Structure 1
Amino acid sequence: MNITFISYEVAPLAKVGGLGDVVGTLPKFLQNKVDNINIIMPFHKIVEKNIEKYNLPLEKVYDELYPFSHSLKYPFSVYKSVLPNTNIPVYLIKNDNLFSTEEIYEYPHPEHQTSYFCDASLTFVKTALPDIDIIHINDWQTSLIPVYLRNNYRDDEILNKKTTVLTIHNLGYQGIFSPDTLNVAGLPGYLYNIDALEFFGQINFLKGGILFSDILNTVSRTYAEEIQTEEYGYKLDGVLKIRNEDLYGILNGIDYEIFNPETDKLIPYNFNIKNLENKTKNKLYLQEKLNLPQNKEIPVISFIGRIVEQKGIDLISEIIDYLTLLDIQIIILGTGEKKYEELLLKYQNKYPDKLSINIKFDLDLAQLIYAGSDMFIMPSKYEPCGLGQMYSMRYGTIPIVRYTGGLADTVKEFYCNTNEGTGFGFYEYTSSNLLISVLKALNVYFRNQECWNTLVKNAMKTDFSWDKSADEYILLYKRSINKKNY
């Protein structure tokens, strides 16, 4: 079984969100379960910087290739590197006209950029990787690949043998553009109909991926069910119901070698479930670093993520005035919508001894926050999987979540009378419910330290490693091959 991952993001070479984390990690755990595995991604500007940062090899393997179908007949070259700490090849599609911006998603015409990348990737697969069995695509940016395969290349004796698995990391991002994008992409005009890519007068790249891929999956079982409802389906629930028999939910994992409090080099004091004293030392160090009063008795509640409504930042903003009446400290790290960034900074000026608002992307600080906090809030409006709650539990930091998507699959309500559970949460999306959940956690923290210690240990014992999920992906790949051969 030979697998090619195709993705717009691959951590740590280029990452904006969870998509990059997954594609940068999952192949490591599949490597010993398949014959060959490799990755194709764009040669974003940031990639070259990170190749130098991680001291990775880089060589040009192809020059002056042209996409088979796309109307933009720019030549592209292909460079080869490796995923850090592996021998997994990473092939980089390079074109200086299209991949010219400092930020990954800054190019003014993403429909041209992504469609070109899809067709160029298939050109490269046919040229250099003809023995590939399965193409594993990710999100809307690569969703035209099965559209090309089923239409433009259905008679190609190499490409028509490839099967496709589409992972939907976040249905909220779909790639919706004007109908003339079909002409630019070199795709047939008949695809502009309701049974193909047409979507309320536009065309929808992700819809094409959903309809034309062999197998679909999302990144948690609950999210796979939610996206077939009107509330979470973003107007694609009907299409997903049509593909229901081919839609699966596989929970994301985390790399336990990287996220390991016993060996993590990004935190000052390593610790484990038998040595939680050092977790307290990390807390004191975190308080000092962020200019908060140092006091090991004060609970630290943190948030790391995009400062947008999807992540529940509106709910957090609504209860800050109430929370600051309590003897707690709140740390927020991330970037996002300007109105929320500015609002949070105003709160920090109002409560300098209670809040630390960090409007930036800082992986080192994130690790320290996971290790040094007592609680971690993720009140998401929707959450396909979520990784923050997994990271926090790994470091003995208790999640407070809204039970939706992957959060519902990974966090279980804690009860002192049974000593079972790993966190606290709520269902209805309101700030009052978030506040009640925070107060439940604080009640245990302040009033029953023995119970709290049990909860911390429960969280640290959870297993969200990639091994089980990798086995489930192998089953998906086999299903895609069987479906192709049927």
Structure 2
Amino acid sequence: MKIAYISYEVSPYAKAGGLADVAGALPKYIRDLGENIYVIMPFHKIIENNTDTSNFELVKSNLIPDSHNYKSPFSVYKSFLPNSKVTVYFIKSEELFDSKNIYEEENIFLKTSYFCDAALKTIKELENDTLVINLNDWHTSLISVYLKTNYIEDNVLGKISTLLSIHNIGYQGLFDPNVLNYAGLPNYLFNMNALEYYGKVNVLKGGILFSDVINTVSPTYAKEIQTEEYGYGMDKILKVKSDDLFGILNGIDYSVYDPINDPHIFAPIKSYEDKLKNKRSLQRYLNLNINANKTIVSFIGRLFDQKGVDLISKIVEYFLLADVQFILLGTGEKNYEDYFSSLINIFPKKVSINITFDVDLAQKIYAGSDIFLMPSKYEPCGLGQMYSMRYGTVPVVRYTGGLKDTVTEFNPKDKIGTGFGFHEYNESDLLYSLLKAVYTNQKRKEDWINLFENCMKADFSYEKTATKYIELYKIALSKKRGF
């Protein structure tokens, strides 16, 4: 079975969020299980900053998408995911993929729709025995629409089945109706049974309706998005498609997030004493007071309400009155950037506020912190809590989506559980859970070491995830073939 994995971002080439991490890891594990899989992504300008592109092989040039009305030619370059034999095809258009910001709003429909049609042209030219395409989020959703309309009778593309992976249903791709003309798609698609959504074209809706199978990135999130609270207007459509909707928990790449061999961290972590070495080194590195008895609470992520940053901002000055230190790494809304930066003067030597994107520092924080905060308003899967547990850092989360599927409440009686959490989205419940974790860290050291060991033993490797994706590819094929 040959599979095309198509994503608008793929690590390490171009990354804006967790999708890139999944796209850069999952195909490797699927190939390890014996399936023939390759990746297609745009040749974003930022790739030249992240990767040595001198070894990229030009395999096709002057190709034109068959349907799209933007007839500028594109080239296809070839490389491989690092440390693997998974082919990556890069679609290069000097005129379109010319921004260092992957998701730059200007002309984003033109760029994503062109990429969708160009990806299908690439498959037809280079991998014409492909049987399944794995799409990711709205940026690639038009591929399913193209296949079920313009290419339904194509002798190559008409045979292909599709799986749409929804990583965050809050982002859907809403545009004016005239964009269908740009994409070269029939105008009849602008109706309530297809892409029309309150007077706009909704690209993700098209992906949901036209894909053979749909999955989200955790079992709980698959249930949540069928409710009005979490469905962002797609809940009724997803209920209709519920027989085709599945939830598969993301994994993390253990070859990259490796507490024994990670070159970014201060010392390999094999024991709790090793954990404390990283803690003291992190304090020194960030100019905090060096004291292993002070609890380090950290947050890594985007500074937006979805990540629970509004709750953190309401309690941070209260919990900083305790014997704790706080580390933040991330960028986002300016009001949050400014507020957290102001804490440096109020709590010197107790806070480290890093308004930036820094992979090296992120690894050091995962390895050296005691507690990792992730109080998300909603969380399709979440990777931060998995990264933190991989390095023995205890998560404090809101039990929603993938956080509910990955973190279990610590029970001091039977010593099981990997973290602390709460259910209702409010700051008082977050503060209570956080202070319970801090108390356990400072006053119940034996329990804390149990927690550390439980986190280190948790298994979020991609082997199980890859196996479940292969099962969905087979389901998609069976639906396409009518049995």
TM-score, normalised on structure 1?
0.98
Q: Deviations over 1:285-340 (max 9, x none)?
A: 11111111110100000000111110000000000110111010000001111111
Separation in structure 2 between the aligned mates of residue 302 and residue 345 of structure 1, nearest angstrom: 15
Whole-angstrom distance in 2 between the partners of 1:94 and 1:260: 33
Query: Does the 8 Å CA contact 1:71/1:185 hold for their aligned counterparts?
Result: yes
Number of the residue aligned with 1:25: 25
* Over 4 Å off, 4+ runs: none
The one-letter code of the counterpart of 1:287 is Q
Does structure 2 conserve the Cα–Cα contact (< 8 Å) formed by 1:37 and 1:88?
A: yes
* Aligned counterparts, 1:304-453, within 5 A: 304-453=300-449
Q: Indicate which of 60, 68, 71 corresponds to 2:69.
A: 71
Letter in 1 for 2:41: M
Q: 1:452-483 CA distances to partner (integer Å, 9 max, x unpaired)?
A: 11111111111000001111111101101111
Q: CA shift at 1:17, angstroms? A: 0.4
Paired AA for residue 311 in structure 2? L
Displacement of 1:33 after TM fit? 2.5
Which runs of structure 2 are paired with 1:36-51 in the superposition (5 Å)? Answer: 36-51=36-51
- Find the aligned partners of 2:119 and 2:439 in 1 and give their Cα distance: 54
> What amino acid sits opposite 1:42 in the alignment?
P
Q: Which of 184, 187, 199 is the matching residue for 1:186?
A: 184
Which moves more between the two structures, 100-109 or 9-18?
100-109
- In the other structure, the counterpart of 1:485 is 481
Work out the percentage of aligned pairs sharing the same amino acid: 56
Which digits, 9 at most, give the CA deviation of each residue in 1:372-414, with x for residues without a partner?
Answer: 0000000000000000100111111000000000000000000
| Structure 1 residues 189-209: Cα deviation after superposition (integer angstroms, max 9, x where no partner) | 000000000011000110000
* Secondary structure in 1 matching 2:112: helix
Q: How many residues were matched structurally?
A: 482
Letter in 2 for 1:21: D
The one-letter code sitting in structure 1 at the alignment partner of 2:38 is N
Structure 2 CA distance, aligned partners of 1:9 and 1:386?
17
Q: Deviations over 1:340-371 (max 9, x none)?
A: 10111112221122211100000000000000
Matching residue within 201, 213, 216 for 1:215? 213
Q: CA RMSD in A?
A: 1.0
Report the Cα distance in structure 1 between the residues aligned to 2:237 and 2:95, rounded to whole angstroms.
35
Is contact 2:272–2:449 with CA below 8 Å preserved after alignment?
A: no
1:259-278 equivalences under 5 Å are 259-272=257-270, 275-278=271-274
Question: In the alignment, is the contact (CA less than 8 A) between 2:4 and 2:39 conserved in 1?
Answer: yes
C-alpha deviation, 1:36, in angstroms: 1.6
Structure 1 counterpart of 2:431, which letter? Answer: L
**Greater alpha carbon shift after TM alignment, 447-456 vs 398-407:** 447-456
Correspondence for 2:112: 114
**How much has 1:56 moved relative to structure 2?**
7.0
Partner residue in 2 for 1:238: 236
Is the contact between residue 100 and residue 107 of structure 1 (CA under 8 Å) also seen in structure 2?
no
Deviation at 1:127, TM superposition (A): 1.3
| Kept after mapping to 1: 8 A contact 2:319/2:435 | no
Say which is worse superposed, 200-209 or 105-114, in terms of deviation.
105-114
Amino acid at match of 1:389: Q
Q: Secondary structure at the match of 2:122?
A: helix
Counterpart CA distance in 1 for 2:290 and 2:213 is 52
8 Å contact from structure 1 (residues 266, 364) kept in 2: yes
Distance 2:342 2:50 in 1: 35
- Give 1:150's aligned residue: 148
| Matched AA of 2:123 | V
The residue identity in structure 2 corresponding to 1:91 is Y
Partner letter of residue 385 of structure 2? Q
1:92 counterpart SS class: strand
Structure 1 Cα separation of the partners of residues 436 and 17 of structure 2: 30
CA shift at 1:107, angstroms? 5.2
SS in 2 for 1:45: coil
Partner of 1:202: 200
The 2-side partners of 1:423 and 1:89 are apart by 38
For normalisation by structure 2, the TM-score amounts to 0.99
